Amino acid sequence: MKNKLTALVCAALLFAAGNLAAGEVGSTSLNFLKVGVGARPAGMGGAFGALSDDATACFWNPAGLTDSRAGELFFTHHRWIEDISQSAASYTFDVQRVRLGVSMNYFGMGELERRSVNSVEPEGTFSPFDLALGLSAAYRVKDNISAGVTARFVHESLDSETASAMLFDIGIKARTMIPNLTASFVVRNLGTKLKYESVAYDAPRLVSIGAAYRKSLPWRDNSVTVAFEIESPNDNETRLALGGEYNWRNFLLGRAGYRTGLEYEDFSFGMGVNYLQLMFDYAFVPYSDLGNSHRFSFIYAF
């Protein structure tokens, strides 16, 4: 029980660390939405808006679904701190000229003991969790421009207290006049407030712009991609994400990333293996004295 309480406190510190500088502690809820989904984006420091080209675009930039393969199934599991974990999945498919995606993001905090203010002995247990269910749609407006939107139902449960909200992500992805350079613009978590009885909380809205450049190397089927993203959240200061990916013959991939503005998170590393219709990804994200995070993902193309 002590370890679980410590884990919850650590999680709260991670979510609020940046807010301290901005004087916005407690200004938003649904903070699980701040935790990125997928090992590939995590390995690149979250600089993924302009690169989004697979089923994880449902979580990062819905416009990127137009560059994914129809019939992609994505799943990830992320053991964060102690019993706190994240599981997410998405699936893409076509309806005429529109690329659609359905997604799920679950964030659980294990089983905790319930105690009243004056209680010495536990009065039972409860399992707090957050859940997001989404529907994404993307359309290629022109040969070089795609637009997308995600509608997401979010639900938060804390013992007997529950609350829900509807949120929306809007994204644009464009191939620029410079060959192999893409740019992105994304707004995440627009929508209604999360209400607990008479108290309402904003969702963690975020506006980001990004770019990604892919350079083919002289030897066979090798390439390097570099990406950056400028993020402006509603409860923190503007921050920067940088990432890189090396692709060896479209089989082995190495990744590294760096983020600013987060007290407990900066460098990240990752790798991927792409074989036929299956891609496996892993990311390692250290959280300073709080420990290390290991993320695993796979994508299967039908």
CA distance 73 to 56: 9
Q: Which residue has the higher pLDDT, 258 or 192?
A: 258
Taking only the tens place, the pLDDT of each residue in 45-74 is: 999 999 999 999 999 999 999 999 889 999
Question: Which range is most confident: 125-134, 139-148, 195-204, 211-220?
Answer: 139-148
Let me know if residue 249 belongs to a domain.
yes
Q: Does pLDDT of 215 surpass 80?
A: yes
Q: What is the mean pLDDT of residues 275-301?
A: 91
Taking only the tens place, the pLDDT of each residue in 95-105 is: 999 999 999 99
pLDDT of residue 1: 43
CA distance 209 to 50: 8
pLDDT of residue 198: 75
Let me know if residue 107 belongs to a domain.
yes
pLDDT of residue 288: 76
Q: Look at the chain and report how many structural domains it folds into.
A: 1
Taking only the tens place, the pLDDT of each residue in 107-164 is: 998 777 776 766 667 777 778 899 999 999 999 999 999 999 999 999 999 877 889 9
Let me know if residue 121 belongs to a domain.
no
Q: How confident is the model at residue 219 (pLDDT cuts 50, 70, 90)?
A: confident
pLDDT of residue 197: 76
Are the C-beta atoms of 227 and 47 separated by less than 8 Å? yes
Task: Indicate the pTM of the whole model.
Answer: 0.88
DSSP 28-93: B--GGGGS--SHHHHHTTT--TTT--STTHHHH-GGGGGGS-TTEEEEEEEE-STT-EEEEEEEEE
Q: Does pLDDT of 24 surpass 90?
A: no
Taking only the tens place, the pLDDT of each residue in 9-23 is: 444 444 443 333 333
Q: How confident is the model at residue 25 (pLDDT cuts 50, 70, 90)?
A: very low
CA distance 182 to 47: 12
Let me know if residue 162 belongs to a domain.
yes
The residue segments making up the domain with residue 222 are 2-114+126-301
Kind plus residue range of the DSSP H or E element containing 233 = strand 222-233
Let me know if residue 233 belongs to a domain.
yes
Let me know if residue 109 belongs to a domain.
yes
Q: How confident is the model at residue 81 (pLDDT cuts 50, 70, 90)?
A: confident
The per-residue pLDDT of the chain, averaged, comes to 88
CA distance 227 to 183: 10
pLDDT of residue 218: 87
Domain CATH code at residue 139: 2.40.160.60
Let me know if residue 120 belongs to a domain.
no
Let me know if residue 119 belongs to a domain.
no
